Structure 1
Amino acid sequence: MFRSMATYAAALRSESAISAPIRQLVVLRVCQLNDGAYEWNVHVGVASKIGVPPGKIEELRNWSSSDLYSNDERVALGFADQMSANSGVDEAAFQKAMGAFGAKGVVDLAALIAWYVGNTRFAKALEIVPDARG
């Protein structure tokens, strides 16, 4: 099962229409919203390595009132907030995402968010904790 999960996760990274920095911000936001400490620990490092500025990571909890984020980042983070809330994505957020990323991008974004919502819950259910070494 884990090998299949890893293959799917690799496809989310390598075949996505969403840029790597936006994907990492979205993953981190999903981790915040779902108390995903293990995934947060992993993806802060990934985000930093690909050039996401530390300020964006630090300000992520307040992204909607911060001027650090681009329009596309705001669209993706708003989509993530709604999708992570178990209430679906409203028409306005969906249309903004379509405008920013196109149909393939919206599917890729939704798949990414769904995967990491599941991953955060998977790690919590199995009590997987961040590595103390960071």
Structure 2
Amino acid sequence: MSDSAAPRLAPLPVRDWDTDTRAMFRGHLSSAEKYLSGAPDAPAMPGILGILAHHTALASAWLAYNGLLLERPTVDPCDRELVILRVAWRSGSDYEWAQHVRIATGLGVTPAQIDAVRHGPQAPVWSAVQRCLLAMTDQLLDRHRVDDATWAQLAQHFDNRQLIELLFIAGSYLCLALVLNSVALQPDPEREERS
């Protein structure tokens, strides 16, 4: 999807993280210790975390905010992932796409649905609600506003908290895609193989 092969800003290697950065990640990610353990079998740090490590204060705020969307959602995680995948596809974010294909697959989103995200709300695999979520995402990306008809359909299926959360999911992952595309972060190799 992207047009840049060489990263503009490489993830900061864990060996270069200071004590404050390590402590901040431990405070925000339940999985931090497995990456920071230094054990021979420790998994590679995801590239996005290495990018965030360049700015510890911003990383702290982002991880707290994003943690709410991922760990304490009011929206069904499969619905969330469809919105994120549509944002990733439309914005050309290879990294975001690869990460969220893996997450969506783990939640039970089918390969046919993941493929259909590329085709948008018109694909025949979607339920009425899923079609509406993808239309919402496209409208936000194209016009920066959900139209009245789509909003009315969404409001039949989602309460006010969920409606706000859906808007923030689309906006947040567009923001993240802009960052990832601009620094030219490449998909994590082990993630790429699984997607």
Q: Which bin holds the TM-score, normalised by the shorter protein?
A: over 0.9
* SS at structure 2 position matched to 1:85: helix
**Structure 2 counterpart of 1:122:** 179
Per-residue CA shift, 1:40-64, capped at 9, x if unaligned? Answer: 0100000001110111001112232
Alpha-carbon offset, residue 38 of structure 1: 0.7
Alignment counterpart, residue 105 of structure 2, candidates 48, 63, 66: 48
Alpha-carbon offset, residue 86 of structure 1: 4.1
**Structure 2 counterpart of 1:38:** 95
Alpha-carbon offset, residue 17 of structure 1: 2.1
Gaps of 5+ in 1: none
Q: Distance in 2 between matches of 1:15 and 1:114?
A: 18
Q: Residue type matched to 1:46 in 2?
A: I
Q: Distance in 1 between matches of 2:117 and 2:184?
A: 25
Alpha-carbon offset, residue 65 of structure 1: 2.5
TM-score by length of 2: 0.65
The answer (yes or no) to whether the contact 1:26–1:77 under 8 Å persists in 2 is yes
Alignment counterpart, residue 140 of structure 2, candidates 83, 105, 108: 83
TM-score by length of 1: 0.93
The answer (yes or no) to whether the contact 1:75–1:100 under 8 Å persists in 2 is no
Q: Distance in 2 between matches of 1:75 and 1:18?
A: 14
Q: Which has the higher helix share?
A: 1
* SS at structure 1 position matched to 2:109: coil
Alpha-carbon offset, residue 26 of structure 1: 0.8
**Structure 1 counterpart of 2:69:** 12
The 5 Å alignment of 1:67-82 reads: 67-82=124-139
Alpha-carbon offset, residue 103 of structure 1: 1.2
The answer (yes or no) to whether the contact 1:38–1:130 under 8 Å persists in 2 is yes
Query: Would you say 1:110 and 2:167 are equivalent positions?
Result: yes
The answer (yes or no) to whether the contact 1:18–1:108 under 8 Å persists in 2 is yes
Q: Distance in 2 between matches of 1:66 and 1:124?
A: 27
Per-residue CA shift, 1:70-101, capped at 9, x if unaligned? Answer: 12111111111111124311111111111111
**Structure 1 counterpart of 2:115:** 58
Q: Kindly, what percent of the aligned residue pairs are identical?
A: 24
The answer (yes or no) to whether the contact 1:31–1:116 under 8 Å persists in 2 is yes
Q: Residue type matched to 2:189 in 1?
A: A
Per-residue CA shift, 1:100-122, capped at 9, x if unaligned? Answer: 11211110100100000000001
User: How many equivalent residue pairs?
Assistant: 134
* Structure possessing the higher radius of gyration over alpha carbons: 2
Q: Distance in 2 between matches of 1:127 and 1:6?
A: 20
Q: Distance in 1 between matches of 2:109 and 2:144?
A: 29
